[in-house]
Chain A
Amino acid sequence: MRFLTLGGVPLWRDARVLRAAAQIISVLIVVIVAVFVINNVLDAAEKRGFSLGFGFLEEEAGFIISESVIEYGAADTFQSAFLAGVLNTLKIALLGIILATGLGVIVGVARISSNWLVRTVAGVYVETFRNIPLLIQLFFWYFGVFLLLPPVRESIQWPGPVFLNARGFFAVWGSASSSFSTWIWFVLAGVILALAVRVAAGQVQSRFGRATHPNLSALAVLVILPIIGWFLMAESPLVRDVPELGRFNFEGGLRLSPEFAAFLLGLVIYTASFIAEIVRAGILSVQKGQLEAARALGLNELQTMQSVAFPQAMRVIVPPLISQFLNLTKNSSLGILIAYPDLYFVSRTMINQAGRAVPIFLMIMGAYLLMSLTFAVIGNIYNRRVRYVDR
């Protein structure tokens, strides 16, 4: 077989040939499987008479979504329905992330507190909620707590007024009056000025060593400017919107449905227990020498935590934290079980009413992949910034 050689090495042993062959074969296998699968789908579509196109998106949806960020009614298109679902998912994901991080940090710090009682309670919290599946926690909160609240006519009332009943959580809120749009400019100015103050004061502090309390000053600006704007307005920008009992339900005010409240509560409590562990591991990863040096320099515990421990701990905390954020977003797909119209629930309804399983399924996958890609990109950016640079 002398002729079957490449540079003296027989073909079947030549590394380059083997490499190329392996790649060709693996791609071929994937292509063959894909063709087989697509063929079957097209066959089934033709035989059973269901279509695979995306044209249905312009058709009228016909079904109602219980709560939605955008205006959505039964006469709107499937496209709007899907958008409403996506926005619902984003709403609960973002709120859940913020609240879970807050709670998780508190519990994580509590886990290493010097107070035995606080430490133990935090430990019990983490061990309990980490080990029970989210599904069961959600069911418990929704069917076992929120739906068993008193009926509308016998609501629990707290000062505010704030009402709690089986139909949801109703609180007094502010509704925009005519001067609201002008006042918003004051708020915006406050934010921008606060950021500017923070940066400037921080620069002054680091360069000239003068204590300018950058965070506090920025906070002061952020708060004072809108307050000034409020009093400058002819009529107050926010009008008290009190929930009042109508024929069937409370009207007005801030309204949180039991589905949303139970879902948020369950997600936050569950994810916070994981975040607490991440925070704890992060803080413990800071070398003891750093903490001792900080004490030697005279920093108290709060200053040590803020300026020495946390920044170093962040490097260890952030990557798993971002993956927990992604988990929370993926867990929002459980809304289907407690009647919260998230992306997955709305898509399942669409599949039923429009009859197009495959295209809608692709849309579901696409939406979730987009969200996870976003988180991955954010994580990568952060990792690159805080990478230990070997000098």
Chain B
Amino acid sequence: MKRKYWLLFASLFGLMALAAVACGGDDATQAPATQVAAATAVPAAAGQAPATQVPAVQAADPTAEPAMVVQEGSRLDLVQDRGTLICAGRTDLAGFGFLNADGDNAGFDVDLCRAVAAAVIGDGNAMELIPITASERGPTIQAGEVDLLSRNVTWTSTRDAQWGNYTTTMFYDGQGFMVPTATGITTALDLDGATVCVTSGTTTELNLADFFRQHGMALETVVFEDTASVYSAYESGRCDATTSDKSQLAAVRSGFADPAAHGILPETISKEPLTPVVAHGDDQWFDVVKTVMSVLINAEELGVTAANVDAMQSSDNVVIRRMLGAEGEFGQSDLGLSATFAVDVIKAVGNYGEIYNRYMGPNGEAFTLPRGQNELWNNGGLIYSPPLR
């Protein structure tokens, strides 16, 4: 008799242990920086574990009154309850999402996530990054597993219909080609019959096919599932050229053994507006993220930086005071955010220009890329956002 009970207790204990493993508790308190062996960044490795709570998403009632309160069960509500923002991103592309020397997540896209975390929770570091491959982007945001997808995702009409809601374009890019300078090719129209290495599951794939078809050129491809293999194969001579967003080409070239031996061709064969994505079905969350992006852009327009944001709260400019919550409203309570959330955001990551220059500016951590189209609208570029009022 005793043996039977003993076995029963042992198996119950075992089941509890397995349950404890499977449904871990809140990992938000886990320190994000993990010790990685000295001088070895493991780029494809993850930061922190995903938390187990995924908020139940409710479709916003289209006939709701203009003043929206925090809906019970909305994603904003759940993110604030959870205390962490779950972001899908990457850790293997210099400048946009990579692991810095301390093993922490860094990059342009990562900082956008930090901005949203600062706005919603008050702390830019209350964020977990889940690295995913290019072909997992759609299914991941469709399944609603993450709060925000910020992984240089190109905004296209099909993706807007299928994957989720595209917030504000934060990086205007275009697709280009990279070839070894030794081949002497100076224009993409010379690539008839070339073999091109490309990542699968991207708009790059599709644009490449379109471009060659349109110009009646023959094309051979080598398609890899992970980006790192693409450039490794290109460097080893498997293909004549490789193609991707020009910013990615610049980033990758900086990591080659001999960067000067590779050149980026002048043609830009497509528009690539890189935009953070949220899942369908939650208008309030959509508006929250768009507003945070607006804050970043408006802050640069108005000259508010991380250094002077405190002083700016008592600025002469009423627009600045309104944005920083010192007076008036621009929709914070309707969105369910604190009145001074813009201060938290700018303190956490700075304004748009600061984020850009941190990684891709003249003293950028990753490489230098002229802002070009990514200048503010009043400086000759395309970065424009609605006024905050």
Contacts and interface: CB of A to CB of B under 8 A. Distances in A.
State if A and B touch, Cβ cutoff 8 Å. Answer: yes
Interface in A29-81: 44, 47-50, 62-66, 73-75
A74 B194 CA distance: 16
Listed residue (B164, B195, B232, B237) with the most chain A CB atoms within 10 angstroms of its CB: B237
Contact of A355 (B158, B194, B229, B236): B158
A376 interface: no
Interface string B135-146: 101110011100
A336 to B, nearest CB: 5
In which size bucket is the chain B interface? 35 or more
Interface stretch (B37-45, B110-118, B206-214, B354-362): B206-214
Counting from the closest, the 4 A-B pairs by CB-CB distance are: A74-B209, A355-B162, A352-B201, A151-B237
Given A47-B281, A352-B135, A355-B158, A62 B236 contact: no
A148 B236 CA distance: 7
Interface string A111-153: 0000000000000000000000000000000010001100110
Contact of A74 (B206, B233, B240, B280): B206
B222 A339 contact: yes
A167 B222 CA distance: 10
23 contacts: A47-B281, A48-B279, A48-B281, A50-B162, A63-B206, A63-B209, A65-B221, A66-B220, A152-B237, A167-B237, A247-B193, A337-B225, A339-B224, A339-B229, A345-B225, A348-B200, A349-B205, A351-B138, A351-B139, A352-B134, A352-B201, A353-B205, A355-B162
A341 B193 contact: no
Interface string B182-197: 0000000000111100
Contacts of B337: none
Contacts of A357: 139, 142
Interface residues of A, number: 38
A203 interface: no
Interface of B: 57, 59, 134-135, 137-139, 142-144, 158-159, 161-164, 192-195, 200-201, 205-206, 208-210, 213, 219-225, 229, 232-233, 236-238, 240, 279-281
Contact of B240 (A143, A248, A341): A248
A166 B236 CA distance: 8
A49 B280 contact: yes
A159 interface: no
Nearest to B233: A147
Given A74-B213, A147-B233, A147-B236, A355 B138 contact: yes
A277 interface: no
A148 B235 CA distance: 10
A100 B25 CA distance: 49
